[in-house]
A and B are shown apart, each in its own frame.
Chain A
Amino acid sequence: MKKAQTEILGIAIIIVLLLVFGVFYLKFSSNNQNLVPEMRKNIQTNNLLQALLKININNEPFDDLVYKCYSKKDCDILKREIPNIIALALNAETQYNFIISTNNKPFFSLGTCSSGITAYNPITKNNIDFDISLLIC
């Protein structure tokens, strides 16, 4: 084989190798992140918060309990019932953070979770705006 032919063959091999590496790189570098679990957690968090806000606990509407917790510092029912409800609705091991605040100042907080999916809902009771957020890890 002549020298020129050998060199062309060498170049062809290098090109083929580069193409193979390129194909593998594209395959493994493509973003294959699965968003379904996150979407599901988002649905769960939003649905749970929406459902919580509508229920009566010990025959008292949820917004009354929030107002009572804020004005009379009587948060015992919320402290006792919310963890039970969240454990039943999701999973006993699920980490969460449930916060009620007004004017961006939290006055009631449950749980230790610091990052995850957050659902947020404002409510108004006796002309006071409360922000209720539920964060699920």
Chain B
Amino acid sequence: MTAHQSIKAQLEMTETIIVLFIFLIILIVSIFFYYQYSISNVKKIGQETLTTSSSVLLSSISSLPDVCCNKENCIDTIKLLAFINNNKDYPIFDKKTITIEQIYPQPTSDKKCTPLLYNDINFPLNCKKFIIHKTEGNNPQIISTPISLYYPQNKQYGIGKLIIEVYP
């Protein structure tokens, strides 16, 4: 091998190494951006799934046998009160605060409904909220729907608002 040939070979080797180096940099940058995109996509899908499951919960709570009326599509308030103290086994309530607010007839008090207030002669006007499940957290996503409430003491119906706060 002559000196000229050796220099040429070295130059070609250097050229190959530079090309490989640039290719590697481009590959690493591409992988980085691809993963960034994938992660944001996964987060978006997670958020959508959470929203969908909350919406399903919105429609299914009033059909839970523990709280629903016997024949009609409504929530029996006496069953609801019993259910409030006994709903720890429902995994679908995880990371959610679920409240039912009475809106018609409009209550005169903002108090939380308890068995004591329930047995009062002024019920349902003496309390506003039935807190089914409570979770502490920040920045919840809030969804709600009106629902029919049944008061068995006077066999009358009212309108409530089922509010679900979903914590990420």
Interface residues of A (CB under 8 A from B): 34, 36, 39-40, 43-44, 47-48, 50-52, 54-56, 85, 88-90
Contacts and interface: CB of A to CB of B under 8 A. Distances in A.
Contact of A88 (B106, B143, B147): B106
A44 B146 contact: yes
A47 B147 contact: yes
A55 to B, nearest CB: 5
B156 A51 contact: no
B161 interface: yes
Q: Looking at chain A's contact residues, is the secondary structure mostly helix, strand, loop, or mixed?
A: helix
Interface residues of B, number: 26
11 contacts: A34-B48, A40-B58, A44-B145, A50-B148, A51-B146, A51-B148, A52-B159, A54-B74, A54-B157, A55-B159, A88-B104
Contacts of A34: 48
Nearest to B62: A47
Nearest to B60: A43
A89 B148 contact: no
Given A36-B55, A39-B55, A51-B160, 13 more contacts: A34-B48, A36-B48, A40-B145, A43-B58, A43-B59, A43-B145, A47-B148, A50-B73, A50-B148, A54-B148, A55-B159, A89-B103, A89-B159
